[in-house]
Amino acid sequence: MTQLLQLISTKAITMLKDIDHLIKINKIGKFKHYYIHNMEILGITNFISKLDDDAIYTIIPIISMFGKTDDPYIILSKQILVTRDSSPKVIHEYLNSKLDQTILDFGSVSLDGGNHFQLIFKYKKITFDLSRLPDET
């Protein structure tokens, strides 16, 4: 398990969708939210440092202008797997590329050039059931 934890989002982003069909994953549980001002790498580092040892989390990266639950938001990518061993730099670079793509795709969105926004990690702990392989269809 330790070797698996050290591989998740350390050199490249590990997406939940890439392993969901390989291993049974228990995704039951409520999501929590962690707010990071302007996608700062220090905020990502602080988030990762607060994760439990020997645990795997899934995060949905969201951007919101004011971080209010009733306001519109943009989901930057599908679910990403992270652990306490994950690289804040790899995650930051990936999310920056997704933000750049968002700005290109939605031209009128103005999140660069000094505007302030919140990066929100919608996250929860997950577990792998390594004793059972997924059903083959």
Rg (CA), the chain: 16
Residues 5, 20: Cα–Cα separation, whole Å: 16
- What does the pLDDT look like over 93-130, one tens digit per residue? 999 999 889 888 877 555 554 557 899 999 999 987 66
How many Cα atoms within 13 Å fall on the side-chain side of residue 110? 4
The pTM is what? Answer: 0.83
| Residue pointed to by tokens 């392989």 | 133
Residues 50, 44: Cα–Cα separation, whole Å: 10
Q: End-to-end CA distance of the chain: give it in Å, rounded.
A: 27
Residues 91, 108: Cα–Cα separation, whole Å: 25
